[in-house]
Amino acid sequence: MNVRRPATADVSAGHTALASNAHAPQARHDRDVHAAPATHADARQLAVAASARQLQPSTAAEISALQAALAAEHAAIYGYGVVGANLTGTALTAAKSDWIAHQVVRDSLEATLRSAGAQPVAAAAAYRLPQPVRSPAAAMSLAVTLEDRVTTAYLGLVAVASARIRTFGARQVMAAALRAAAWRGRTVAFPGFPAGALSSPDADHGQRQPG
Tens digit of pLDDT for each residue in 115-136?
999 999 999 999 999 889 999 9
CA-to-CA distance for 110 and 85, rounded, in angstroms?
27
Residue at 46 is within a domain: yes
Range of the domain at 46: 8-205
Residue at 3 is within a domain: no
Average pLDDT of the chain is 80
Residue at 165 is within a domain: yes
Residue at 2 is within a domain: no
DSSP letter string over 102-165?
Answer: HHHHHHHHHHHHHHTTPPPPPPPS---BSS---SHHHHHHHHHHHHHHHHHHHHHHHTSS-HHH
Residue at 116 is within a domain: yes
Model confidence over 72-120: pLDDT tens digits? 999 999 999 999 999 999 999 999 999 999 999 999 999 999 999 999 9
Residue at 1 is within a domain: no
pTM for the whole thing?
Answer: 0.74
Longest dimension (CA), the chain: 68
CA-to-CA distance for 135 and 1, rounded, in angstroms?
19
Residue at 182 is within a domain: yes
* Total domains present in the chain: 1
- Alpha-helical (H) ranges within 30-86 are 41-55, 60-85
Q: How confident is the model at residue 45 (pLDDT cuts 50, 70, 90)?
A: confident
The enclosing domain of 97 has a CATH number of 1.20.1260.10
